[in-house]
Structure 1
Amino acid sequence: MSLHPELLNLALRLLCAFAASLVIGLDRELHERAAGMRTTILVCLAACIAMMSANLLLPQAGKESGSFVQMDVMRLPLGILTGMGFIGAGAIMRRDDGFVLGVTTAATLWFVTVMGLCFGAGQFLLGGTAFLAALATLWPLKYAEHHIGKDREARLVVILSRDGPSEAEVRHTLSHPPFRIRRAFVRIASDTGRRELRYDLRYAADAGAPPPDFVASLAAREGVEQVEWEV
């Protein structure tokens, strides 16, 4: 950081922070995420301004002879990063089914904060590199994720009459790849013999994949009254 930055240099820092956070926020905005353009721009500019303020205070830092006061201007950007932890934590939610949302949003906010600190310190090369790394992470890798097979969670509910397939037959189908049974629940009506089977599964599938073929074949079997597949 320069001890005596010029006004044009400070304006360039703000412009770089604004432009970079605008592009990153646009990706979040297009996908209707919690942190859109305005949020990422404000966070990045706040970090940039904090770092510029620390830069302007550098000539005044230090301990004078006979003084018990010492100014550590670097505490200002460190405080910004600490504050971002609270904002990021507020963006993360855990649903009742255990699924966690908002982690990428929180990481994006933390990232644009660090990027803003880089631009605020006049480290244009480092900030620009961070910006390009963010673009590569948020855009190309997002599309690559759709082609990577992932373990997904699903729930299968089967209602069987007395003469329907046995629980052992259904479980045998689910005991082979790509399925893994995590939890199983069985309810049997003693008067009618009607059975309700519930399975919490993990299976390998692409995002947005249709229900497995065996769901339709199971529903077509005699004695199967109802089949529900929930992802």
Structure 2
Amino acid sequence: MMVTLHWSDVVLRLVATLAAGIAFGLNRDEHGRPAGLRTTTLVCLAACLSMLQVNWLLDTTGKKSGSFVTLDLMRLPLGVLSGMGFIGGGAILRRENMVLGVTTAATLWIVTIIGLCFGGGQIILGVTGTVLGLGVLWGLNFVERKLREDHRAALIVIADTKNPVIQELISRCAEVSIQIAGQSVVYSEQGKIIELHFDLRWRGHRHNFWPPVFLSELASRPGVMTLQWKPSGFTGM
């Protein structure tokens, strides 16, 4: 970080910051995620401006060029990072068993760091962070779509006890490699109605939590009152 700041340095840092913020924002908007173009650009720009202000204060009148450390100016970018921790935490949502917004929070965090790098004059470091960050968001997103991982879901079935749909459901799950890891049963209406809760497990592609096709067929059978599919353990972007 230079003690004397020239306007050419300021323009270079601001342009690099805007380019990085816009690039990350376009990635978020492309996938329809929160913290899009304007949000990431503003966060990155705010971080850059805070470091520019610090840089300007380094050459404070009455201080020797080597004594600016005593001003403890680094409290300003540290405060920015602390504030981003709160914003990132607010971007993460939990809906029942699903967690959403983790990647959004991480994106806000990295654009803040990149803005601090550009604002502090570490252009090469900021460009490197931008390239690597975008590579993670675009490149690894493609890799994640190809990966197969363990999934879990809860299936609730309410039906007439005389209906054979329960046995058919168990056999159809086995056919598509869905494992029934646990189940519970509740009888009502003097044993005429049965309510079953299944804990299902299977391996599939990431973010693929749609129910099997045969469930819609079974739900239309006579005597089936309710068939509810609830995926769990999903960590979203």
Q: Same fold (TM over 0.5)?
A: yes
| Superposition map of 1:61-100 within 5 A | 70-95=70-95, 97-100=96-99
CA distance in 2, matches of 1:132, 1:74: 26
Q: Does 1:151 align with 2:150?
A: yes
8 Å contact from structure 2 (residues 180, 198) kept in 1: no
The alignment partner of 1:150 has SS state of strand
Please report how far the alpha carbon of residue 227 of structure 1 lies from its aligned counterpart in structure 2 after TM superposition: 4.1
Q: Which segment is superposed worse, 137-146 or 114-123? A: 137-146
Which amino acid is the alignment partner of residue 40 of structure 2?
A: T
Which amino acid is the alignment partner of residue 143 of structure 2?
A: A
8 Å contact from structure 1 (residues 62, 71) kept in 2: no
CA distance in 2, matches of 1:101, 1:25: 18
Please report how far the alpha carbon of residue 36 of structure 1 lies from its aligned counterpart in structure 2 after TM superposition: 1.0
The alignment partner of 2:153 has SS state of strand
Gap runs ≥5 in structure 1:
65-69
| TM, length-normalised to structure 1 | 0.82
| TM, length-normalised to structure 2 | 0.80
Where does residue 33 of structure 2 map in the other structure?
33
CA distance in 2, matches of 1:214, 1:136: 39
Write the deviation string for residues 180-223 of structure 1: whole angstroms up to 9, x where unpaired: 536x3322125353212122333212233653366478669997
Q: Does 1:199 align with 2:165?
A: no
CA distance in 2, matches of 1:55, 1:192: 77
Q: Which segment is superposed worse, 84-93 or 27-36? A: 27-36
Q: Does 1:17 align with 2:17?
A: yes
| Superposition map of 1:1-231 within 5 A | 1-60=1-60, 70-95=70-95, 97-165=96-164, 178-181=178-181, 184-189=183-188, 191-206=190-205, 207-208=207-208, 211-212=211-212, 215=215, 227-231=227-231
Please report how far the alpha carbon of residue 7 of structure 1 lies from its aligned counterpart in structure 2 after TM superposition: 0.8
Please report how far the alpha carbon of residue 91 of structure 1 lies from its aligned counterpart in structure 2 after TM superposition: 0.9
Write the deviation string for residues 144-201 of structure 1: whole angstroms up to 9, x where unpaired: 211111222322223343334497886687689542536x332212535321212233
Which amino acid is the alignment partner of residue 60 of structure 2?
A: Q
Greater RCO structure (CA 8 Å; 6+ sep): 2
The alignment partner of 2:126 has SS state of helix
User: Residue 3 and residue 84 in structure 1: after superposition, are their counterparts in 2 closer, same or farther (change >3 A)?
Assistant: same
CA distance in 2, matches of 1:210, 1:91: 25
Write the deviation string for residues 111-139 of structure 1: whole angstroms up to 9, x where unpaired: 10000011111111110110011111111
Which amino acid is the alignment partner of residue 115 of structure 2?
A: G
Please report how far the alpha carbon of residue 52 of structure 1 lies from its aligned counterpart in structure 2 after TM superposition: 1.2
Gap runs ≥5 in structure 2:
65-69, 232-237
CA distance in 1, matches of 2:126, 2:31: 25
CA distance in 2, matches of 1:37, 1:50: 20
8 Å contact from structure 1 (residues 174, 181) kept in 2: no
CA distance in 1, matches of 2:29, 2:57: 36
Q: Which segment is superposed worse, 213-222 or 201-210? A: 213-222
CA distance in 1, matches of 2:54, 2:61: 10
Aligned residues: 225
Q: Which segment is superposed worse, 191-200 or 45-54? A: 191-200
CA distance in 2, matches of 1:61, 1:82: 29
Which amino acid is the alignment partner of residue 159 of structure 1?
A: I
